[in-house]
Structure 1
Amino acid sequence: MKFGAILKACRDRAGLSQEELAYQLHINQSDVSKFENGTKEPPISIFQAWINNTQAQEVMVAYLCGLDGIGILQNLIDVLPELTTVGTFILNLL
Protein backbone atom coordinates (compact mmCIF):
# COMPACT_ATOMS: atom_id res chain seq x y z
CA MET A 1 0.00 0.00 0.00
CA LYS A 2 1.33 3.44 -0.88
CA PHE A 3 1.11 5.76 2.09
CA GLY A 4 2.92 8.81 0.75
CA ALA A 5 -0.07 10.57 -0.78
CA ILE A 6 -2.26 10.09 2.28
CA LEU A 7 0.51 11.22 4.63
CA LYS A 8 1.04 14.36 2.56
CA ALA A 9 -2.72 15.01 2.44
CA CYS A 10 -2.93 14.70 6.23
CA ARG A 11 -0.02 17.10 6.70
CA ASP A 12 -1.44 19.60 4.22
CA ARG A 13 -4.87 19.40 5.83
CA ALA A 14 -3.32 20.17 9.21
CA GLY A 15 -1.57 23.20 7.70
CA LEU A 16 1.87 21.99 8.71
CA SER A 17 5.09 22.35 6.76
CA GLN A 18 7.40 19.37 6.46
CA GLU A 19 9.74 21.05 8.93
CA GLU A 20 6.98 21.62 11.51
CA LEU A 21 5.76 18.05 11.31
CA ALA A 22 9.30 16.68 11.46
CA TYR A 23 9.86 18.66 14.66
CA GLN A 24 6.66 17.27 16.19
CA LEU A 25 7.61 13.71 15.23
CA HIS A 26 11.27 14.10 16.33
CA ILE A 27 12.55 13.12 12.89
CA ASN A 28 14.40 14.90 10.07
CA GLN A 29 12.57 16.94 7.45
CA SER A 30 14.25 14.80 4.79
CA ASP A 31 12.52 11.73 6.26
CA VAL A 32 9.14 13.47 6.01
CA SER A 33 9.90 14.18 2.37
CA LYS A 34 10.96 10.58 1.71
CA PHE A 35 7.81 9.21 3.37
CA GLU A 36 5.59 11.53 1.32
CA ASN A 37 7.39 10.73 -1.93
CA GLY A 38 7.21 7.00 -1.27
CA THR A 39 10.96 6.47 -1.36
CA LYS A 40 10.95 5.34 2.27
CA GLU A 41 8.23 3.51 4.18
CA PRO A 42 7.50 4.82 7.68
CA PRO A 43 7.57 2.47 10.64
CA ILE A 44 4.13 1.98 12.19
CA SER A 45 5.08 4.14 15.19
CA ILE A 46 5.84 7.12 12.91
CA PHE A 47 2.74 6.42 10.84
CA GLN A 48 0.54 6.46 13.93
CA ALA A 49 2.22 9.58 15.37
CA TRP A 50 1.83 11.32 11.99
CA ILE A 51 -1.92 10.65 11.96
CA ASN A 52 -2.30 11.73 15.58
CA ASN A 53 -0.25 14.92 15.14
CA THR A 54 -2.21 15.95 12.06
CA GLN A 55 -5.53 15.01 13.71
CA ALA A 56 -6.56 13.09 10.60
CA GLN A 57 -7.82 9.84 12.06
CA GLU A 58 -11.00 9.88 9.96
CA VAL A 59 -8.99 10.36 6.79
CA MET A 60 -6.89 7.33 7.65
CA VAL A 61 -9.90 5.16 8.45
CA ALA A 62 -11.51 6.07 5.13
CA TYR A 63 -8.26 5.47 3.26
CA LEU A 64 -7.67 2.08 4.88
CA CYS A 65 -11.24 1.12 3.97
CA GLY A 66 -10.42 1.92 0.36
CA LEU A 67 -12.41 5.13 0.17
CA ASP A 68 -11.30 8.47 -1.15
CA GLY A 69 -13.24 11.71 -0.72
CA ILE A 70 -15.44 11.09 -3.75
CA GLY A 71 -16.07 7.50 -2.67
CA ILE A 72 -17.22 8.65 0.76
CA LEU A 73 -19.62 11.13 -0.80
CA GLN A 74 -20.94 8.50 -3.19
CA ASN A 75 -21.61 6.15 -0.27
CA LEU A 76 -23.51 8.90 1.51
CA ILE A 77 -25.58 9.54 -1.59
CA ASP A 78 -26.37 5.82 -1.92
CA VAL A 79 -27.29 5.38 1.74
CA LEU A 80 -29.11 8.64 2.33
CA PRO A 81 -31.36 9.54 -0.61
CA GLU A 82 -32.30 12.85 0.98
CA LEU A 83 -28.68 13.97 0.56
CA THR A 84 -28.72 13.34 -3.17
CA THR A 85 -29.16 16.97 -4.09
CA VAL A 86 -26.50 18.15 -1.68
CA GLY A 87 -24.18 15.27 -2.58
CA THR A 88 -24.57 15.86 -6.30
CA PHE A 89 -23.81 19.53 -5.77
CA ILE A 90 -20.64 18.69 -3.82
CA LEU A 91 -19.51 16.10 -6.37
CA ASN A 92 -19.94 18.67 -9.14
CA LEU A 93 -17.67 21.05 -7.21
CA LEU A 94 -14.92 18.43 -7.15
Structure 2
Amino acid sequence: MEIGAVLKKMRMRAGYNQEQLAHELNMTQSTISKLERNRKVADFQTVMRWADTTCAKDIIIAFMLNTDVATVAHGLLQILGGLSLWTLYF
Protein backbone atom coordinates (compact mmCIF):
# COMPACT_ATOMS: atom_id res chain seq x y z
CA MET A 1 0.00 0.00 0.00
CA GLU A 2 1.31 3.45 -0.89
CA ILE A 3 1.35 6.40 1.51
CA GLY A 4 -1.36 8.23 -0.43
CA ALA A 5 -3.83 5.39 0.13
CA VAL A 6 -2.91 5.36 3.82
CA LEU A 7 -3.51 9.11 4.11
CA LYS A 8 -6.88 8.76 2.41
CA LYS A 9 -7.86 5.90 4.73
CA MET A 10 -6.92 8.03 7.74
CA ARG A 11 -8.99 10.97 6.46
CA MET A 12 -12.02 8.87 5.65
CA ARG A 13 -11.93 7.01 8.97
CA ALA A 14 -11.97 10.37 10.75
CA GLY A 15 -15.01 11.44 8.74
CA TYR A 16 -13.35 14.37 6.97
CA ASN A 17 -13.84 15.27 3.35
CA GLN A 18 -10.84 16.73 1.54
CA GLU A 19 -11.95 20.33 2.05
CA GLN A 20 -12.47 19.88 5.78
CA LEU A 21 -9.07 18.28 6.28
CA ALA A 22 -7.44 20.93 4.11
CA HIS A 23 -8.89 23.60 6.40
CA GLU A 24 -7.66 21.78 9.53
CA LEU A 25 -4.14 21.37 8.09
CA ASN A 26 -4.03 24.85 6.54
CA MET A 27 -3.62 23.39 3.04
CA THR A 28 -5.63 23.52 -0.14
CA GLN A 29 -8.04 20.79 -1.16
CA SER A 30 -5.88 20.33 -4.24
CA THR A 31 -2.85 19.57 -2.06
CA ILE A 32 -4.83 16.99 -0.08
CA SER A 33 -5.92 15.35 -3.34
CA LYS A 34 -2.37 15.30 -4.72
CA LEU A 35 -1.00 13.76 -1.52
CA GLU A 36 -3.67 11.06 -1.51
CA ARG A 37 -2.98 10.22 -5.16
CA ASN A 38 0.81 10.23 -4.67
CA ARG A 39 1.15 13.16 -7.08
CA LYS A 40 2.94 15.08 -4.32
CA VAL A 41 5.28 13.70 -1.66
CA ALA A 42 4.36 14.37 1.97
CA ASP A 43 7.16 15.21 4.34
CA PHE A 44 7.35 13.61 7.78
CA GLN A 45 5.93 16.66 9.56
CA THR A 46 2.90 16.72 7.25
CA VAL A 47 2.24 13.02 7.77
CA MET A 48 2.42 13.42 11.55
CA ARG A 49 0.11 16.47 11.52
CA TRP A 50 -2.30 14.48 9.34
CA ALA A 51 -2.16 11.57 11.81
CA ASP A 52 -2.75 13.89 14.78
CA THR A 53 -5.65 15.67 13.11
CA THR A 54 -7.35 12.45 12.04
CA CYS A 55 -6.57 10.62 15.31
CA ALA A 56 -4.93 7.89 13.28
CA LYS A 57 -1.46 7.46 14.70
CA ASP A 58 -2.14 3.72 14.85
CA ILE A 59 -2.52 3.56 11.08
CA ILE A 60 0.66 5.50 10.32
CA ILE A 61 2.65 3.44 12.83
CA ALA A 62 1.39 0.22 11.24
CA PHE A 63 2.33 1.60 7.81
CA MET A 64 5.84 2.50 9.01
CA LEU A 65 6.24 -0.96 10.51
CA ASN A 66 4.93 -2.49 7.27
CA THR A 67 2.09 -4.33 9.00
CA ASP A 68 -1.65 -3.92 9.29
CA VAL A 69 -3.46 -2.18 12.14
CA ALA A 70 -5.24 -5.35 13.27
CA THR A 71 -1.92 -7.14 13.78
CA VAL A 72 -0.52 -4.22 15.79
CA ALA A 73 -3.70 -3.96 17.89
CA HIS A 74 -3.70 -7.70 18.56
CA GLY A 75 -0.07 -7.60 19.69
CA LEU A 76 -0.70 -4.63 21.96
CA LEU A 77 -3.74 -6.30 23.51
CA GLN A 78 -1.69 -9.38 24.25
CA ILE A 79 1.00 -7.27 25.91
CA LEU A 80 -1.46 -5.15 27.85
CA GLY A 81 -3.51 -8.19 28.82
CA GLY A 82 -0.36 -9.84 30.11
CA LEU A 83 0.52 -6.73 32.08
CA SER A 84 -2.95 -6.66 33.63
CA LEU A 85 -2.63 -10.25 34.75
CA TRP A 86 0.90 -9.59 36.03
CA THR A 87 -0.33 -6.70 38.21
CA LEU A 88 -3.04 -8.92 39.71
CA TYR A 89 -0.43 -11.34 40.99
CA PHE A 90 1.93 -8.73 42.41
Q: What TM-score results when the alignment is normalised by the length of structure 2? A: 0.74
Q: Please, which runs of 5 or more residues in structure 1 have no aligned partner?
A: 81-94
RMSD: 2.2
1:52 is aligned to 52
Give the conservation status (yes or no) of the 8 Å contact 2:18–2:33. Answer: yes
- How far residue 46 of structure 1 moved from its aligned partner, in angstroms, is 1.3
What is the aligned length? 76
Q: Please, which runs of 5 or more residues in structure 2 have no aligned partner?
A: 79-90
Give, in whole Å, the separation in 1 of the partners of 2:45 and 2:62: 20
- How far residue 69 of structure 1 moved from its aligned partner, in angstroms, is 4.5
Amino acid corresponding to residue 43 of structure 2 in structure 1: P
Alpha-carbon displacement from aligned partner over 1:25-65 (angstroms, at most 9, x marks no partner): 00000000000000100122211110000000111111111
- How far residue 2 of structure 1 moved from its aligned partner, in angstroms, is 3.0
What's the secondary structure of 2:34's corresponding residue? helix
Q: What TM-score results when the alignment is normalised by the length of structure 1? A: 0.71
1:10 is aligned to 10
1:63 is aligned to 63
Give, in whole Å, the separation in 1 of the partners of 2:74 and 2:42: 32
Question: Counterparts in 2 of 1:23-62, with a 5 A limit?
Answer: 23-62=23-62
55-64 or 6-15, which deviates more = 55-64
10-19 or 60-69, which deviates more = 60-69
- How far residue 76 of structure 1 moved from its aligned partner, in angstroms, is 4.2
Give, in whole Å, the separation in 1 of the partners of 2:13 and 2:47: 16
1:21 is aligned to 21
